[in-house]
Amino acid sequence: AKAAGRNALRFFDPQMQAAVTQRAALVSGLREGLRKQQFRLYYQPQVDRDGRLLGFEALLRWQSPQRGLVSPAEFVPVAEESGLILPLGLWVLESACSQLAAWARQPASAGLSLAVNVSASQFARADFVEQVLEVLARTGANPRRLKLELTESLLVARVEEVIAKMSALKARGVGFSLDDFGTGYSSLAYLRRLPLDQLKIDKSFVRDLLVDPNSAAIAHTIIVLSQTMGLAVIAEGVESASQRDLLASLGCQAYQGYLFGQPLPLEQAEQLLAAQPLA
């Protein structure tokens, strides 16, 4: 009993206490942010080999009155742990699909695709497929313009279940991209079974492309793999023309990164669109 008492005391160590309080404040801040509509989508351009616009990736931001513009790297992990990622993910999907539907009504933007990040816990929900179909129906977005970005972490679920969900959405035209490819632990034998459309070369490999032969070799392997599997491939985190040129020489078809544009608020994304016609 004495030992347990000491452990209990240790739990209330001031530093740990502070971390727990901070996290709780973040969770309640996020909950309030959802209620008060403080979340925004930013749009980062995706381009083809000639730099022509293919579409955007929707990236979440939290416009907090107290904290300013908060990056998802800071709050998505906490949103995942607390379950808030479910309502938040639904908000992202709804906003993205509404935007797709709005773009489809204008000839200059009708061909745009929009990539949306889906967290593993969101995908794992039994009603994920119904949720996506319902949002598509409600917003009137064209499923063929929607690309869901999944990470290998979704493979914590049974692979048959993952395949069934992906196939159900694919049957309606929804596309799938595997994000952060090459950074996870899943085997190629697993990945081969997934009905994917695209592999996304992680930005860590792109960053080291010119300085680390291993990173260049991995990027090359992913590009060849995508070609062999009949998939599209896109590189993220492309910041320099020399990175782009090297990727192009390896056969990469699509690019995303600061070289082509930062994640932009809607108005700026639409200005870019007006200045640069679709591919």
Q: Which residues bind ligand C2E (CB under 6 A)?
A: 44, 59-60, 71-73, 76, 89, 92, 117, 119, 179-180, 203, 236-239, 257-258, 263
Q: Do 202 and 243 meet the contact criterion of CB atoms below 8 Å apart?
A: no
Nearer to Ca ion, 31 or 232 (CB): 232
Given the complex with Ca ion, which of 80 and 180 has the nearer CB atom? 180
CA–CA dist 276, 55 (Å, integer): 11
Kindly state the smallest distance separating residue 133's Cβ from ligand C2E, in Å.
19
Site string for Ca ion, 129-168 (x = CB under 5 A): --------------------x-------------------
Q: Nearest distance from residue 242's CB to Ca ion, in Å?
A: 21
Nearest-approach distance from CB 17 to ligand C2E, in angstroms: 28
Rounded distance, CA 142 to CA 13, Å? 53
Alpha-carbon distance 172 to 146, whole Å? 11
3-state secondary structure of 90: helix
Q: Which of 46, 82, 109, 117 binds Ca ion (CB under 5 A)?
A: 117
Comparison of 55 and 89: residue with beta carbon closer to ligand C2E = 89
Residue 235 CB, nearest approach to Ca ion (Å): 10
Intra-chain end-to-end CA distance of the chain, in Å: 70
Using DSSP bridges, classify how beta strands 113-117 and 68-70 pair: parallel, antiparallel or unpaired: unpaired
The Cα 147–Cα 253 span in angstroms is: 17
Distance, CA of 236 to CA of 129 (rounded, Å): 27
270 contributes a contact to Ca ion by CB under 5 A:
no
